Structure 1
Amino acid sequence: MSEDTSGLNPQQRRLLEGLYKFYRDGQLTDVTLDVEGQEYACNRNILAASSPFFRAMFTSDVKESKDDVVLIHEISKDAMESLLDYIYSGKICLTNENVQNVFSAANFLEMLEVVDLCIDHISGVVNLSNCLDVFFFAVYNYCEKLKLNCGNFILKKFPEIAETREFLSKIKVEDLMWFLSADDIYVDREEYIFEYILKWIDFDVETRSKLFPKLFKCLRLPLINEEYFAEKVASHEFVQESSFCRGLLTSFSLFKIQQAHSLEVDVDSPFANSTPRLGMYNRKLIVYSGGANSADERSFTAFDPISKKNYYGIKPHPSFDFKFRIDYFSLVTTENNNIYFIGGIFYENYHFSETGPAEKHVFLYDEKKSKWLSRKPMGMARCQFAACSYGNEIYVCGGKSSHPVGEPSDTVEVFDPEIDFWTVMKPMPMALYQHAICCHKKALFVFGGKDVVDEHVDNVFLFDIPTNSWCVIRSNLLKPRSEHMALAVRDKIYIIGGGSRHSNAVEVEIYDPATNRWKFGCDFGEERKIMAGCVYDDQIYITGGVRQFSRPNKPTRTVETKDFFRYNVDLNEWQKLVRFIQYANTQSCTVATLNIKFLHESDFISVGEGIEPDEN
């Protein structure tokens, strides 16, 4: 990182370059700085013009040096070299290794513009592993800007950072009050704030118990569950032992009575603060994606099956079906709630080109930035492949490297996000595409698909993850099919959608891995394939699909729908919930917990609840 000198006029640039050359050559200098035994020949006027510290030194009547040598004890020679380079050239090289030393040196010399450069650099590299070091570094150096930047990062990750021993032992009560009072603290319930206060005090109860009243003021009492409030908060010994806290509870009771009777209340009262914390905007949503506005972009949209609201982080291209379309990709959510977009085929203009090579790209969604981040590509470009997660790892298998021509593959790869690396695993027993996969316990199950001669198969394969080995399940699908999905709910696996050579499948097949037996579920109401499906709260949800639309005396058309169904696995029945999901894509969907504060809410609310499939 360096200061931009491109705006200098020729004379300014000539002057700066000339001074820097004199400094490097040791010419026309009049003072020497001694730093850790290393001497630097410099110019008093240049140093004084660049640093208030040197200005005060060289313009005072007090003799600060002997024989024009100034001893600097508070700065390392590496940091001094970086600052002198900046003073004479306007450029400075900041790295993760030197930035703290340069910051301390610039702070000492009162070179505020360099301090700001250091703050920007440090703020840009704050992560889970270093955020506490940075925060306490900022506190030690009284740097409010860096402290605020790092504090905002900690707020977003508060539960996983604040419960560490380092945070519990070192954080001061004033800083803790700032965290616990913030709107942007990422907790999903106010009860957690109370529980954390007790945890922090319990770490050093003898010293900290007297601080409880201060921290108690940070609670937003209107957000606390009434039953929890009565059983855990109001009756707690710390509350009962404090006259201040008891007084707050009395005031809060009066506040609630005034609210209940619609009386005028003091909006500035601490009890009137019912603003939810940032984490309280988390929702479990169904996520869709596809093309956006260029070959490198992917859309990001979501649907709430409870509120029927539609959201977007990155809008699809307005044409949806033609411009910048992506087909045959997979969306996968890992155990730690990371969402990945994998593979597929990109079409510049789908209307004119329905063939193309597959992609090996992998993207991770950053919800706070509303952006897909590029990750290590797969070893093989894939479309019409199968993908699923096991813990935080992602497994992909089979598929083609181009569509519609191209040979199917039997290769298997696993992605480790910790090291951003794909590893080749033992191949499947046969090459497949348009097959389905799901994870059950410590095994992956692969169902059906098409083989190398484009025949539909009814095979079932099991991949044992701990031993990296495949075996053939001696119990096939009840009907061969491709372009279907396999979804695990509790201890069963449900096969839905897809089709065979002659018809799309309406049958739901249910597999029990424990008994190795199959049975039929309730048929879907229409013949469809290429549906997007997911499991949400132990129920199966299906979005749209491709179906044949017949009209009297007119050619049959292939239609892609965006309606929404639920398969109740307990009642073994289908129900149509909405007619149309605004931003849906029938290729793939996944379930993830997202914060709607980082999404845009559409004005369009999907409707149609309670309509049965056969009524459409």
Structure 2
Amino acid sequence: MAAVNGTGEQVTGTRVAANADLHREWQNLRTSRMLCDVELRGAEAQSTGIPCHRSVLSVHSGYFRIMFLSGMKESTETAVQLRNISHIVLSELIDYCYVGDVLLTDNNVQSLLTAASFLDIGAVVESCWTFMESRTDVQNCLMVYCFADSDAHKNAALARKAKALVLQGFVSVSQQPEFLALSNEKVIDIIRSDDIQVPGEDQVLLAVKGWLQHNPMQRRCKFWEILQCVRPSYLSPQGIKDYLLACINALKYYAGGDGLLHQSDDLQVLPGSDAEPLSSRSVARKSYGIENITVCAGGHSETSWISQVDSVDGVNPRTSRWRKLARLPYRVANSGLAVINNELFLCGGIIGCGDSRVTPRTIRYNRTLTCWTDMAPMQTGQGNHSAAAIAGHIYAVGGYGSDTRTLATVERYDVTTNQWTYVASLPTPLEKFAIVEGAVAPSPP
């Protein structure tokens, strides 16, 4: 091997690398207390001192390097106590500094990672994260997620992986003791996700009720906030009853809850009621297995153009199979039909045998209960109009009103407030026309 010395002369020789024998010598010096210049103690009051060398600790730990070289009082003391690290964990990390390895297990990896992060022993920190990622599964994913997502550690990649497992195995995870120990913030963080894998929303309600019962005295004041993340539109009939009862009980302990209860009218303003404004909680979770279908609702019978029907049929374009949906609550034809957030809305239409029998009624299809629910009516009863879902709203355009006069009105339905409002009218009254969402280029100046 050739090298060049400081004078520019070529020097031939062999470079010798340190090996395991050197680590053993360092360890022998420590165990025999030879040249040791500091003694470390763990958090326990009666912790036994661990003899060490400042130079060895400074090489491996940024924390000790600063402590011993910055003129702190610990730099001259013969004994230093670390009050936030246990004796066992401290001993394992000091052994690492001398022998170059440490045994990681499911039982010690989190405490070792916490202490190694504090002492700035980067190699151990990295090894602990790698070990935790390799061992993360449905049984421990909730614990790993909380640890990796905490402000003290923050491993975003591992937190995402662990949370995905939590959502995927939510039914079993929610039955683990770790779930019952979660903070209300973490419960909300989990159950608000669209990605929870559950056969139905009842499992989510059951999980949060179990969480409450684990410590009701301390948790009941926050339970109302958690119930806001349950999606009542997808609860079973019994689940809705349990949910409304839980809401009533939660409002008793929630700040401002008395006011909400006094404003209620037979529970009609509580979440889950028909009068509740639609929101993201009205969106189905991805695991519900909802299929996209083309729907035909109402219309005239084949025997008479003045006779309306209440049938609703849907076809799956992928399978080309038709199936019956719940019948409309009334016979209607020439109504508007639109979909927002996977929710089906039918608005207006003609009822009875006279053209003047138009209705402003708006109904929504509840897939869970397989029934239709009344929503806020339109401002004007109309039939032979067109409806479309555009940019998160439903627009009902034109048609004719109760006096059979062709309309130029345009109404917009806001799903978040459950309200119809007038917007800019048509330049020309129209009926029996087509409408579709589209994009056009602006007109030239």
Is TM > 0.5 for Structure 1 vs Structure 2?
A: no
TM-score by length of 2: 0.45
TM-score by length of 1: 0.34
> Which structure has more strand as a fraction of its residues?
1
> Which structure has more helix as a fraction of its residues?
2
